[in-house]
Every structure is written in C-alpha cells, then in structure tokens.
Structure 1
Amino acid sequence: MDKIIISAEEAKKSSFEELFKKLYSSKKGISSSEAQKRFQEYGPNEISEKKINPIVKFIKYFWGPMPWLIEVAIILSALIQHLADFGIISTLLALNAVVGFWQEHKASNAIELLKEKLALKARVLRDGKWQEISAKELVPGDIIHIGSGDIIPADSKIMDSISADESALTGESLPADKKSSDIAYSGSVVSQGETNAVVTATGLNTYFGKTAQLVEKVLKHGQTQSV
C-alpha cells in the first residue's frame, strides 16, 4: 500500500466503506504483516523533535542579518568610543536574545507537557484478535478500541458515540460530544462511552502533530525576525 495521507475533514466526510477502501482495511482490521509494512512507510506514531543544545539555541539569537547589523554598530561604537551607545545597543541585543530564548523555552516545555499526555498503549484488532501494543506501533487502517478513561492514541473515526475531553488540545473546558463517524483526536481522553474506531492518521499527520509543527514554525520564524 502506498502512503496515503487523509485529513480529518476528509475522514469525517467519508463513509466507513469509503474510508476502509482508501486505507485497504476493514472492520476486522489489518494483519500483523501488513501493519509492519505500513509502520515502515508511515513511521512510528509519535511526535519526533530534534533536540538542540540550549547553548547553541541561545547563540542563534546572535546570528542573522539583523543581529549582524547591530553587532557592527556595537563594534563601531566601541571603536569611536561612544560608550553610552555601546552600552545601550549591547544591552538591547542581549535582552532580545534572552527574551526570545525564554519564549522558545516556554513553548517547548508546553509541547513536552502535551507529549507526556499521549497514549503509551493501545488495544488493537490484528489478525482477527484483540491485543495490546505500544501506541507508537499504530498505523492508519488499524481498528482500535477505546473506552472511558482511555487516552486516544491516534486520530480515529469512531463507530459509536462518546464524549472526549479535548482540553489539552483545544482549551475547551467541557467534554466534546462525538457522534458516530466523528473524528476523535490523538491525546484527548474518553470521558464517557466506548467504541471501536479506525485509525486515520498517526504521528505528525494527527491534529496534535500538525499543531506541534505549527508551533515549531512560529518559533523558527520568531528567531529570524528577532531584534
């Protein structure tokens, strides 16, 4: 099966028959051998993040067109002995780096806190049998079972109605009522009901994954626009 990316909107609009056809799956799930092939294609169901040394991250705030111009101004102020200008410009450059670094640090911590709430295990139907596996091993087309108190391990189209706490993702304080054929998002928690569901997206293709990518882009943009 070629890698197929299905958006939440497309998955919600599609009937189960259409979705199963697109994902080459069924209500009986997929086989373990097929799951292994898809795992190689889609990768693990997790949010990967490149770790950067904090010192290197901080130094980056002094690197770029705008910081270079300010650093040239600092050098010129020192050469002509305008100490007041030298002190003010140096302070502004350092303050900008500290503020930018701290904002990025807080955003990174927020993502880490959310990642800690992602499911570790999942109950999945493979080879015609229900089994518990690591949530990282889920692939699109898998059939999972979720019930009250469970963390939803991947974006999934549900077969029966449930209520889900999506506050960690959307900020909404009240549980969201999910009807049959709705999409339940990875990282949300089933507050009431139970259902089988077909996995439609994993990893960075989930709602949470795309949110994390968006935050990362904003942070990178903030670095380039700093000062």
Structure 2
Amino acid sequence: MNFDNLFKIADISTVSCIANAGLAAPAVSPALEAAAAPRAYIAQLVDAGLWSDAIRFLAFALPMREGVWWACLSARRAASGGLRSEGAERAAIAAAEAWVWAPAEEARRACLAAAEAMAYDGPAGYAALAAYWTGNLAPPDQPEIPPDARLAPTAVGAAVLLAALGRCGNEVEAHYRLAVAEALDIARGGDGRDMRALSPEYAG
C-alpha cells in the first residue's frame, strides 16, 4: 500500500484526528501515538490490521469534499453488490456526488432530502448526510446553525464501514483494504477510482 505524497492530509494534526474520531486502544497505544505524522500513523494502523480505525481516522483527515467523494465510492460499490439497490439509494449517491462536483448551497440542501428518502441509513444515506452536514443546518429562512465539525467526517466513516459490513466473510477485510487504498489515492490528489483494478484481493 502506497503511503507516499499524501499532500492533502500532510498538515493535519494526528492527535486531533485521533481524538475527534474517538479512536481507542489499541489504535492509541503508546507505539502508535509516537507516530506523529499522519502518513506514519496510518501506515502503523494498516500494519497492525486496524482497518476500521484507519478508515475512521482517514474520514477525519481528508478535506470534506474529498471525504464525501470517498464515501460515495464505497456507497456505489455497496449498491452494485445488491445492497438495497433501489432508486432512493442511487439518488442519494448521485446527490452527494453532485455536491462534490459543484458544492453549491442548493446541491448541499438537496442531500438532506436524499438522505431522508434513505431513512438516514446505509452507505448511501450517510454519504448524502456527510455532504449536507458540511454547512448550515437551519432552514433557509432561519438563523444559521453551524454544524458540529465532527458530523460530516463521522458520516463519511459510517458510509465506508457500513459498505464493508454488508459483505460476507473475507470480503469485509478486502473492502477495508480497498477503501483505505482509495482514501490514500485521494489524499495524493487522485480520485480513488483506479484502486479496484490494483487490488486483486478484492473479489466484490
């Protein structure tokens, strides 16, 4: 797995991301905490097989648009695998992707309705919520309510993790591996979409 040139997360605070993501032992063991640089910390999580912790950390490390895009990649994979592949699911993913490509207020607010149609659940529902939670939570004609900064990345992590948990047996870890590879590619300035071809262990 390539941990080089992660320029989009190079300047984040590893300690802050660990705290905001709510990571616990063994992901915050003294040996792992000593790796102050994000690159080194993620590499140690991967080496230790702490996939869910790596995913939750990356959800907080990535910029918000990049994080939502990552959530959409996992949500699309879950949909193509037959997990609740109905119109509402695909519409929620499309709404979140539309916000990523053009993060206007109208596109962001459309993500709330898309998430509601998914009962605020599942990889697609959380991807849409992640996009919505990047801005004002109040109705348009009400005083602004800024979101808690932890909401959007928490939803990103939930989308990625739920997409993996919909798999069977060894496919769960294979999805984790692929998802982490996607996030690292996005952190290098890529779009994550070529990682599947480079992950032969992923059978989904």
Shared fold (TM-score, shorter chain, > 0.5): no
Structure having the higher Rg: 1
Q: TM-score, normalising length from structure 1?
A: 0.27
- Which is richer in strand? 1
- Which is richer in helix? 2
Q: TM-score, normalising length from structure 2?
A: 0.29
